[in-house]
Structure 1
Amino acid sequence: MRFALNHITTPNLALPDFFELARRLGMTEVEIRNDLPDVVGAWAAADVRTEAEKAGVTILSINALYPFNDWSGDLPERAIALADYAAACGAKALVMCPRNDGTEIASDRVIAALAAMKPILDERGLTGLVEPLGFPVSSLRTKREAIAAIEAAGGRETYRLVHDTFHHHLAGEAEFFPDWTGLVHISGVTDPGVAVADMLDDHRVLVDGSDRLGNLAQIRALLAAGFEGPYSFEPFATEVHDLAEPEPAVRDSMDHVSAGVAAEAGA
């Protein structure tokens, strides 16, 4: 398993401490954010690069450009600024999330947004990681829709997908697209009382034996299909964020996932 760590797992850790935690967990790949925590707003890009090089970690992505598929207002300006920052700090990609408030975005607008974003990414050597959100209010719920838009925009060489195990489950998707996948986000839901349609980011915890999202089955399917990229922990629940000792909790989740996948492989 090629594990990575998203900073939202431990948003209370300062950036250097977050990088050090990843290394203690045996990881060399991380994701930083522009929301929780807002590394982009708090750190100069050059300093982020310096800290990453010092810790020996690669920055997979910055989360996230939102809402990428509503290419209006100040979004083009924000997109350029975030891409500039990503290139300067050494990040390899930008995660791109669709509008998620019940607003419908027609497919031609999604295509136009991807076409407009393509040269911004290409000129800086960045990959656009399109992440469909499975919420009922999302304007782009499935990976198949995203792929169709990417192809229509001529973006096959620029874009890849984020397979998020939470959003895959919420959207009711059955298909896997390993050749299109650049990154996997993993988190679990263990609350037995919440219906799938009512699951929110606040329910997302570290993956354990009580997981309701089928993380192990999803990961097995991706591995069996040949996906060799990173699996990045991305829990949003405050109960995870508030852990006084996050390291053993993340390590336990790593062990659970690794053991579950290995057990199936050896069956």
Structure 2
Amino acid sequence: MIRGAELFALNHMTAPKLRPAEFFALARALGLFKVEIRNDLAGNAILDGTPAAKVAEAARQADIEILSINALQRFNDWSDARAEEAQALADYAAAAGAKALVLVPRNDGEGRGEGERLPRLSEALEKLKPILSTRGLTGLVEPLGFEICSLRLKSEAVAAIDAVDGAQVFKLVHDTFHHHLAGEAALFPNRTGLVHISGVDDASLAVREMRDGHRGLVGVDDRLGNIAQIKALRAGGYAGALSFEPFAQSIQDMDIRQIQDRLAASMALIAANLEA
């Protein structure tokens, strides 16, 4: 087993061309037992109509735990259509054996006003509580650091969760990329249910210019401060998975051997730095 493998998980965005069974096999080849699956991969499960039971069986055969389905998009823009989408995705998550549903906020420049952010967020969480709790799912709220996002700060997410008495249903996603972009000091390790990790190496980018396409694996030239963030979260009591979520096309275009080797190297680097 790769040193420190028990710390990590894989998001399907790491290798989006792999079918679920192949993706689960990649995780196991790295000594990992936890993954996140996605509902936004064209030509792949879930969008291609793969039944949840088939995903659940593939995970069972590989001895894989599905941490989450990523994600219910624009969750804080609540409507009847969003409610139907949430129910369908929550049904799929439960049937697939997932433990949680990632909740991603509106990210198009709308809904950012001082008088609308918290009310709209609280409304969505209130409506999502019974949908998730009746299916035994956790809602993982993921603030995005982009300046156009309607939910950038974890402090606002925590305030809304508490406003609807939702601490038993909702936890935070701490994404190291988005935390860096948002510039928020607060970490909330005891309210965190999952950590997404990725790295940005390009020294020419200003922070406000960083986008998903710049997100690779965590390496020696990482600009996001992944190691410092992870150390602080662990010191504060977070003991959950660190889930690799790179979006860079260069990573997604790698063959399975290349991505396995690159992931192994990144895992070893992070584990060694955490021990130092």
| TM-score (norm. length: structure 1) | 0.97
What is the Cα deviation at residue 243 of structure 1?
Answer: 1.1
- Of 10, 13, 26, 2:15 maps to 10
Mapped to 2, the partners of 1:14 and 1:114 lie a distance apart of 32
Mapped to 1, the partners of 2:166 and 2:260 lie a distance apart of 38
Paired residue type of 1:108? P
> 1:179 aligns to what SS in structure 2?
helix
Partner of 1:46: 53
- Residues 41 and 47, structure 2, Cα contact 8 Å, conserved in 1: no
Partner of 2:41: 36
Mapped to 2, the partners of 1:92 and 1:239 lie a distance apart of 30
Q: Deviations over 1:172-213 (max 9, x none)?
A: 011111110000000000011111001100000000000000
- Of 71, 86, 109, 1:79 maps to 86
Mapped to 2, the partners of 1:15 and 1:150 lie a distance apart of 32
What is the Cα deviation at residue 61 of structure 1?
Answer: 0.1
Unaligned 5+ runs, structure 1: none
- Of 229, 236, 244, 1:233 maps to 244
Mapped to 2, the partners of 1:99 and 1:26 lie a distance apart of 35
Partner of 1:250: 263
- Residues 19 and 45, structure 2, Cα contact 8 Å, conserved in 1: no
Q: Give yes or no for the alignment of 1:128 onto 2:128.
A: no
Q: Deviations over 1:141-190 (max 9, x none)?
A: 01000000011112111000000000000000111111100000000000
- Of 69, 75, 79, 2:76 maps to 69
Partner of 1:219: 230
Mapped to 1, the partners of 2:238 and 2:121 lie a distance apart of 26
- Of 152, 167, 172, 1:161 maps to 172
Paired residue type of 1:207? V
Q: How does 1:159-238 map to 2 (within 5 A)?
A: 159-238=170-249
Q: Give yes or no for the alignment of 1:93 onto 2:104.
A: no
> 1:125 aligns to what SS in structure 2?
coil
Mapped to 2, the partners of 1:40 and 1:86 lie a distance apart of 10
What is the Cα deviation at residue 12 of structure 1?
Answer: 1.1
Count of residues in correspondence between the two structures: 263
Mapped to 1, the partners of 2:67 and 2:208 lie a distance apart of 30
Unaligned 5+ runs, structure 2: none
Q: Deviations over 1:81-130 (max 9, x none)?
A: 00000000000000000000100251111101100000000000000000
What is the Cα deviation at residue 73 of structure 1?
Answer: 4.8
What is the Cα deviation at residue 138 of structure 1?
Answer: 0.3
> 1:212 aligns to what SS in structure 2?
coil
| TM-score (norm. length: structure 2) | 0.94
Mapped to 2, the partners of 1:101 and 1:73 lie a distance apart of 20
Mapped to 1, the partners of 2:163 and 2:234 lie a distance apart of 28
> 2:94 aligns to what SS in structure 1?
helix
Say what the alpha-carbon RMSD is for the aligned residues: 0.9
Mapped to 1, the partners of 2:45 and 2:149 lie a distance apart of 26
Mapped to 1, the partners of 2:233 and 2:162 lie a distance apart of 22
Partner of 2:30: 25
> 1:40 aligns to what SS in structure 2?
coil
Paired residue type of 2:206? A
